[in-house]
Structure 1
Amino acid sequence: MSNEPRDLNRDPVTGAPGAHPVGVGVGGTGGAVAGAAVGSIFGPIGTLVGGAVGAIAGAAAGKQVAERLDPTGEAEYWRVEYANRPYTDANFDYDSDYAPAYRYGLEVREQSGSRRWDDHLEAEVRGGWETSRGTSRLTWEQARDAVKDAFDRSDRTYRAYEAADGYYADQYEAADYYLTDYDYTDYRPAYRYGTRARSNLHGRVWDAELERELEHGWDTARGTSRLEWNEARDAVRDAWDSAERLWPSDGDVRR
């Protein structure tokens, strides 16, 4: 274990204290998605699947996360959420019309790497809609906001995990909860679980009820991690608290 003082709040790129790892990756996309919760810096994010276990996509290295977003999870998210979006039209349905647009936005983000959505990218995306729309009756003008919505959510997910992965890979051995029998491939799912929980549960505080919910979900979230919940809990909480600093008005305190 490292003897350096523990500071899990340093910028992963500059090393400056008082920064937040997730904020490095997602600050540029905050509030981009229509309907995102007021006060949320980066909004709900998805789950990554596949890729090489243990691959590190550090913000400092400027690399891409090795995995892909879970397409089934994204489809189910939008199935529930699309009706809350201001651009949806009751004359169209999810499966036939909007699902192809959300799927296209996800595919665009995966194929475009770290490119941001701008006029140049939008022109390319618009040109590809006719061949990607499948059964959708939406014109580009009707599909555009849904495509961008899915792109932005995907971008938030990749950048949030990329920043957290790169940060904690360099810091986890200095944590007071670190157990020497395990390595970063065991702790990474815990950090991602805490990051995802905090982004998706904006407005909740860490209390006994939330901890029971997270414990219940750990067996699914852990993937290949060898950590049992009692061993992973503090790492999950660490990532939750780091994200919590983005919303100081929530008033959450460590219990």
Structure 2
Amino acid sequence: MKKFIMAMAAALMVFSFTSCGSKKADGKVWIIATDTVFRPFEYTNEKNEFVGIDVDILAAVAEDQGFKYDLQSLGWDAGVAAVQVGQADALIAGATIKQSRIDSGWIFSDGYYLATQTFVVAADSSISKFEDLKGKNVAVKNGTAGADFANSLKDKYGFTVTVFEDSPTMYQDVILGNSAACCEDTPIMADNIKSAGLALKIPAGMESEGAPYGFAIMNEDRRELLDMFNKGLENIRANGKYQAILDKYLK
């Protein structure tokens, strides 16, 4: 019930736009949820445009497959809840493909980006390995692969975990010294440190093995959309558009 209320509230503040394809003429508009700030995958630029790798991949796939969509920037928790209760058809928000999500009803596309998770510390921190976290606290973002990675190590290395609802608040908790580290997807963290000038750093050797991001539905009735995403992804990989999108944001 809490997540449903969050989704409803977020919908009142939604940043969204509709993109039109050219091949299908049935008038169907797919509602696709995403996060608010998960740079470089989705964020608002200096021109107040909603941009990012996820945003551009979805646009390229929709153009290739000729479908219309309404991309709604709800935030992670509210976006997941919206898809779960049928207020949105799918989610694209740097969602890691993992078995626990599949077991709970998520239906993923083919992976579209392979990401690792990494621990991040304050710029002046002496922490350089997992053992240095003993007796300290690590900040994580709710429901993410970074949270899973931190939780998988906390007992072994003797640290505690505090959960936050969004990445910027999590980063500030480390910068302010309340937490010794946070755990986030590596490309997101590297981009935020560079673009926002955050007083944080990524120690070498404190990352996971990595897992792919996927476009997700949670109802078999939306299988048509998932199939179109997979086909469009295959096509934009082949024609070079996919690599051009990655180069645009990561180079």
Which range, TM-score by smaller chain? under 0.3
TM-score of the pair, normalised by structure 2 = 0.27
More helix as a share of residues = 1
More strand as a share of residues = 2
